[in-house]
Amino acid sequence: MNHQLIKARDLHKYYAVKSGYLQPSKSLKALAGVSFDLYEGKTLAVVGESGCGKSTLARILTMIEEPTSGQLSIDGIDVAKTTEKSIKKQLRQTVQMVFQDPFGSLNPRQKIGNIIQEPLTINTNLSTNERHQKVLEMMELVGLRKEYFQRYPHMFSGGQRQRIAIARALILKPKVVVLDEPVSALDVSIQAQVINLLIELQQELGLAYIFISHDLNVVRHISDEVMVMYLGKPVEQGPSEAVFNTPQHPYTQALLSATPQAVVDGKRQRIKLTGELPSPIDPPSGCAFNPRCQYADKDCQIIEPVMELYGDSKVSCLAVAQQRIGQLKAS
């Protein structure tokens, strides 16, 4: 068994939202019970539409925010229980992140070299020369030319900016990298370059990835495990093949069938999802997905389903539990 890097148990994150001056503040449930394990060299994909809590999860894993409740251990250390600053600092270095928008995530007034070496400047006592050396090594690793050191971000295309962002994330030698939609802002041909780079880096450095994305075609290709989220809750979680080949939760099935495929042989039967994501401030009672679900019945409006193992993956759905849905063949 590989080394366990992240252990998350029942993570919750609530935000207080003011609805007006006289009303009491409501709580927005951005995350409502997320559990997973992440092992060295593995990729966990987090899939879902905007507003499903993907980004909140990323902020919690990178310790920018603290969970409201639940347990998070990074590299065997419980984050909530450590008070010592040096250990916290070390944990911070263990998890790094690459953002979605390569145009917003690089400081436009800093040179590439300085952007990449900033984590070193803050966290280590290396001399200028040593830092410089490390940055150059890292730039070579991610496929950037040495002479870019002195240039500014605005001179680069999206793909190269994303390489810079990856170099910055890797310079502290983290064990886990959170990738928040790292390729969705890039062109198809560049997307492939960056994904290949990520795969190669993972193999070379034994990194673990949390890959947050809404592009199921990419996720299917890169992930070992998949967690499908809806309104802050995982609805299906399991090995990539199981989730993609035999999706069980109605939402997973709908997501898969909504994803366009680059094949032209006839029109596929598509599961239509009506309506839109409900507000996380007051989610529907019972199963959060019930207003949009074609299998929903009265029970679904009352009983909140729990995650249970069916076949290879864990699913939280009453219809699956009561065997009201037949297996749907994925394309």
Partner 1 sequence: MNHSADSSKSTLSQQWQEFWFYFSVNKTAVAGLVFLILVIFMALFADVISPHEPAEQYRQFAKLPPAWKEGGQMQFFLGTDYAGRDMLSRIIHGSRLSLLAGCIVVILSLSIGVLLGLIAGYRGGWLEILIMRVMDTIMAVPGLLLALVLVAILGPGLLNAMMAIAITYTPYFVRLTRASTLSELNRDYVTASKMTGASSTRLMFVSILPNCMAPVIVQGTLSFSTAILDTAALGFLGMGAQAPTPEWGTLIAENRDLILNAPWTVTFPGIAILLAVLSINLVGDGLRDALDPKLKRS
Partner 2 sequence: MALLEISNLTVDFATYTGSLRAVDGINLSVDEREILAIVGESGSGKSVAMLALMGLLPWTAKVSADSMLFDGQDLLSMNDKQRRKIIGKDISMIFQEPMTSLNPCFTVGYQITEVLSHHFGGSRRSYNNRAIELLHQVGIPAAETRLNAYPHQLSGGMCQRVMIAMMIACQPKLLIADEPTTALDVTIQAQILELLIELQQSHGMALILITHDMAVVAETAEQVIVLYAGQQVEQRSVKELFKSPQHPYSEALLNALPERAQGKLLNPIPGVVPGQMDRPKGCLFNPRCSYAQELCRQQPPELQDGILCHYPLVAPKPDLDVRTQ
Binding-site ranges for partner 1 (CB under 8 A): 62-64, 89, 92-93, 96-97, 99-101, 104-111, 118-119, 122-123, 146-147, 149-152, 155, 165, 168, 172
Residue 103 sits at φ, ψ, to 5 deg, of -85, -25
CB of 24 to partner 2, least distance (A): 22
Name the CA dihedral angle for 242, 13, 321, 303, rounded to a multiple of 10 degrees: -160
DSSP state letter for 58: H
Contact stretch for partner 2 (CB under 8 A) within 18-26, 66-74, 131-139, 263-271: 263-271
Near partner 2 by CB under 8 A: residue from 276, 297, 308, 312: 276
Near partner 2 by CB under 8 A: residue from 130, 200, 282, 297: 200
Count CA within 13 A, CB hemisphere, residue 262.
4
150 binds, among partner 1, partner 2, none (CB under 5 to 8 A by kind): partner 1
Query: Residue for token digits 């001056």?
Result: 21
199 binds, among partner 1, partner 2, none (CB under 5 to 8 A by kind): partner 2
Query: 318, 234, 317, 232: which is closest to 283 by C-alpha?
Result: 232
50 binds, among partner 1, partner 2, none (CB under 5 to 8 A by kind): partner 2
Could you tell me which residues come within 8 angstroms of residue 234 by beta carbon, excluding any fewer than 6 positions away? Answer: 33, 34, 35, 36, 227, 228, 307, 314, 316
CB of 51 to partner 2, least distance (A): 9
Interacting positions 140-159 with partner 2 (CB under 8 A): 157-159
CB of 86 to partner 1, least distance (A): 11
Contact 34, 8 (CB under 8 A): yes
